[in-house]
Structure 1
């Protein structure tokens, strides 16, 4: 049985082993505070809290804190005893949470995460030595959206898309009509092209800051392939943003675009006849985009580590995750739930799930923040033909490495 230890001692004690939830008993008199964003996610957390209370007799208090702000807030509130015991956070903040010492490792049911969760979800919460930090709640990534009035059955390859565009004389840049649009200078989307021929941002599943593959031969080839799509897309990345892209798609002026599940409801309400699918292959290669995992993590400052870990484990049980899908429509990351008919047959869920299975979790080390601006600038310079792919990527990686050195 794990004893209540300091955050450092607890991390050392459980670094090489996991315990099943049924072997852990919550601390007497435990009561927990959980931070979650406002919306259906909060309603679900409240539901889980009520069910957890029925089983363990532990009261759960919820407080609304934006998911992207929970780690920073815990850094401030944890030391003075006013922070949450359990927080919801994006997986790419794990590195910051570990570095600042505000989240503790999982010591409950680690084997279940390793065997029963999707590989992308498991990798997202695995740290450098394979130790887990966080319990996955949902997974999301982006896919290809297509106008069914133009492409009733979608498209399988970008080469076919270009052929269709040419045959139908669809792209007319003066009229703001395009065969394919994406946020060119947003690295979140650009990573899929960088990785298409073997490039990568950070090695060892996104945890080794000293292994940067953003300017290797594969990354250069990926940007060359990306440039082949410019003929059916925008001329200047600055000419379009998310809102204008969505507007043009609604108006039937964009045949296909890269976008995520967050765009679905708005298009459905607008009455757009659209479908979604896995991203087409490019030059014979499947594009594997970034994925994001929403997770529960336990605070290092909690007075009730056993109860907190039990709650996180309980919340990510199949039963609770199935209820979460019903309440939030966010894709659960366990293999068994994704095979349920209501998920596998949903035309707006299954393609995202299929894409997520081969996606790359966004690197979670804190140094990832140093990659965005230099590589976004490189994407912009290449697309505007101000620099060759190799030149632009070499420059960006030099900037990144210099900034990493300054942090050490």
Structure 2
């Protein structure tokens, strides 16, 4: 395991530093930090950045002295950061462990150890315009019927970023596709990929069927195109996540959220992303960081403060979830999460994103799905067998 360069210049008298991306509830997090300081006398500084992950990785490559003690980011890159020695394993207390849903812990578990404290969980679901859809379809096959009903009005039934593995994966996983086989200790076997599984092929064929019917434009959709059509009332449903709710509400769309429909009679299985607080390996404040997270940040009142600033989506905390239970959108999102599976976090995910993205572009352009997916799987297996080093994303 690589270790940070020597020369950590900060001392135990420095404040605890928390970094978070600018799109999260950083103002709420600042209020939480202030309350902790007032209670304990220990200063906590919250800093937020656009493209915070780039800044975090640059700070870590430089030894970490300019970086945070606590780093808040989704779990999907922890495999690389663990390998580089940038984040520390943690041993959550029993009260914290029992309050947080298991799927969230699964996301932050790798190699038999836990690498972060989950704050929220998210997965894509079916967001629908209530003015256009009375009852969301229970199967993807029903989408074609709904489209025929809406087509005379110049409205498409459904859209999503069709070239993105993240948004298209739930349809592929419905039929049994898997990214990498997971071992019992939570690690993954990069030589065993199932992106070319017959279920994934059927999903690719269904996507091309939607294009042939005009539900999806020929060549596919980008995220911005799907979002614009949804906001403009030209698209009735959208496969997206809780981060899109605020924009739809601002556009005056009365929307509902439902679990993704089935495909071929089997439930769609989205990636579950887990936003969590990680403790930096080289921090001089590791014990202090754990105290702040376990005994203050994860309390329902603290999570409520952050959520009031910017919605967390679905909280990982059971106690916080029950506070939000009256919100039908949160309930539906939790259903989507329980149907999904944690996004793999091993470094080889770089290969998955690269080669499945290329395969989906080809499928969008009309290449037979089986050919495109088998070629992508063969490339991933070849890289794993060769033991190729994995570049940081």
Q: Which residue is equivalent to 1:386? A: 367
Q: Structure 1 residues 80, 287: closer, same or farther in 2, change over 3 A?
A: closer
**Are the equivalent residues in 2 in contact too, given 1:89–1:294 (CA < 8 A)?**
yes
- Matches of 2:255 and 2:291, distance apart in 1: 42
Q: Match for 1:335 among 283, 305, 318? A: 318
Q: Structure 1 residues 85, 224: closer, same or farther in 2, change over 3 A?
A: same
**Are the equivalent residues in 2 in contact too, given 1:70–1:87 (CA < 8 A)?**
no
Q: Match for 2:293 among 273, 296, 312? A: 312
Q: Which residue is equivalent to 1:348? A: 329
Q: Match for 1:201 among 169, 175, 179? A: 179
Q: Which residue is equivalent to 2:198? A: 217
Give how far 1:191 is off.
Answer: 1.0
Give how far 1:42 is off.
Answer: 1.6
Q: Match for 2:87 among 93, 103, 106? A: 103
Report whether the alignment pairs 1:189 with 2:167.
Answer: yes
Q: Structure 1 residues 346, 80: closer, same or farther in 2, change over 3 A?
A: closer
**Are the equivalent residues in 1 in contact too, given 2:162–2:222 (CA < 8 A)?**
no
**Are the equivalent residues in 2 in contact too, given 1:183–1:237 (CA < 8 A)?**
no
Q: Structure 1 residues 333, 393: closer, same or farther in 2, change over 3 A?
A: same
Q: Which residue is equivalent to 1:65? A: 49
**Are the equivalent residues in 2 in contact too, given 1:196–1:287 (CA < 8 A)?**
yes
Q: Which residue is equivalent to 2:132? A: 150
- Matches of 2:337 and 2:12, distance apart in 1: 40
- Matches of 2:258 and 2:350, distance apart in 1: 30
TM-score normalised by length of structure 2: 0.86
Give how far 1:180 is off.
Answer: 1.6
Q: Which residue is equivalent to 1:76? A: 61
- Matches of 1:68 and 1:47, distance apart in 2: 23
- Matches of 1:41 and 1:275, distance apart in 2: 23
**Are the equivalent residues in 2 in contact too, given 1:278–1:351 (CA < 8 A)?**
yes
Q: List per-residue Cα deviations over 1:359-383 (Å, max 9, x = no partner).
A: 2222111111111121122123234
Report whether the alignment pairs 1:125 with 2:104.
Answer: no
- Matches of 2:203 and 2:95, distance apart in 1: 36
- Matches of 2:96 and 2:60, distance apart in 1: 26
Q: List per-residue Cα deviations over 1:291-334 (Å, max 9, x = no partner).
A: 22211111111112211221222312333223322332213111
Superposition pairs for residues 135-146 of structure 1, below 5 Å? Answer: 135-146=117-128
Give how far 1:260 is off.
Answer: 1.8
Q: Which residue is equivalent to 2:379? A: 399
Q: Structure 1 residues 287, 298: closer, same or farther in 2, change over 3 A?
A: same
Give how far 1:187 is off.
Answer: 0.5
Give how far 1:228 is off.
Answer: 4.1
Q: List per-residue Cα deviations over 1:115-172 (Å, max 9, x = no partner).
A: 332232111101122x100111122221112222221232222233322333x2x337
Give how far 1:40 is off.
Answer: 5.8
Give how far 1:390 is off.
Answer: 2.4
Give how far 1:176 is off.
Answer: 6.4
Q: Structure 1 residues 302, 258: closer, same or farther in 2, change over 3 A?
A: same
Q: Which residue is equivalent to 1:35? A: 19
Unpaired segments ≥5 residues, structure 1: 1-6, 9-26
* 83-92 or 51-60, which deviates more: 51-60
Q: Which residue is equivalent to 1:295? A: 276
Give how far 1:95 is off.
Answer: 1.1
Q: Structure 1 residues 114, 215: closer, same or farther in 2, change over 3 A?
A: farther
Q: Structure 1 residues 71, 96: closer, same or farther in 2, change over 3 A?
A: farther
Q: Which residue is equivalent to 1:15? A: none
- Matches of 2:293 and 2:322, distance apart in 1: 23
Give how far 1:90 is off.
Answer: 1.8
- Matches of 2:240 and 2:27, distance apart in 1: 26
**Are the equivalent residues in 2 in contact too, given 1:36–1:45 (CA < 8 A)?**
no
Give how far 1:114 is off.
Answer: 4.4
- Matches of 1:224 and 1:206, distance apart in 2: 31
- Matches of 2:189 and 2:28, distance apart in 1: 35
Report whether the alignment pairs 1:93 with 2:77.
Answer: yes
What do you get for the CA RMSD once the two structures are aligned? 2.6
